[in-house]
Amino acid sequence: SQQGEEDPQALSIQEGENATMNCSYKTSINNLQWYRQNSGRGLVHLILIRSNEREKHSGRLRVTLDTSKKSSSLLITASRAADTASYFCATDVSGTYKYIFGTGTRLKVLA
Amino acid sequence: DTGVSQDPRHKITKRGQNVTFRCDPISEHNRLYWYRQTLGQGPEFLTYFQNEAQLEKSRLLSDRFSAERPKGSFSTLEIQRTEQGDSAMYLCASSPGGRGTEAFFGQGTRLTVV
């Protein structure tokens, strides 16, 4: 089963614009991670945010976490065509060591 | 460090045959995970190991599936009597362990059952 849901399911923007995608989850977590997946390839780790953190930055990425709402957002600023991919959130569920993935957001950045 | 390595990258097999996939984690990572991903879906958890111990298995892992991690290094995932519904990408990941650590994925093995 998948605990997280990303929103929107698909997003199409122009190069240079910002892209925001959201992730909701159901249970208590230790941390939340975001991954990128290019078509037919493996997952690339982007960023991890711990449950006691509210915001984290890495390059053009900004992640927020609201544990009271059980939600997270990923912002990609100044998007590039190379950012075209599917983006997934994954939660490290408290009490277990497994990671549960959401359904993903398919981002398309038009040049 | 070359990252998580999976072999083969692609496998086409006839229904009813057995297949085995291999995963080599990042060295000194004591946790190893197997996931399955079908088209348009997120990865689904199958099982994970802490060193050589298999600590959790998903209900998705029917009795036709078995995973091992002898000596706590590489891992194998075997599917017996494959069915068309087994066609998917099988992903392996490893992490150093401890809470709040990243999991790093391999490129996956794409299985097609014909």
Nearest-Cα distance to chain A for B81, in Å, is 24
DSSP assignment of B20-49 = EEEEEPPTT--EEEEEEE-TTS--EEEEEE
- What are the pLDDT digits (tens) for A66-93? 999 999 999 999 999 999 999 999 998 7
From the list B18, B14, B9, the residue with the least C-alpha distance to B113 is B14
Nearest-Cα distance to chain A for B84, in Å, is 19
Q: How far apart are CA A96 and CA A49, in angstroms?
A: 17
What domains are there in chain A, each with its CATH number? 5-110 (2.60.40.10)
Residue with tokens 């449950």: A51
* B42/A104 Cβ within 8 A: yes
Q: Which residues of B touch A104 (CB under 8 A)?
A: 41-42
- What are the pLDDT digits (tens) for A35-62? 999 987 889 999 999 999 999 999 999 9
Q: Taking 70 as the threshold, does the pLDDT of residue A3 lie above it? A: no
Q: Which residues of B touch A102 (CB under 8 A)?
A: 42
Q: Which residues of B touch A1 (CB under 8 A)?
A: 44
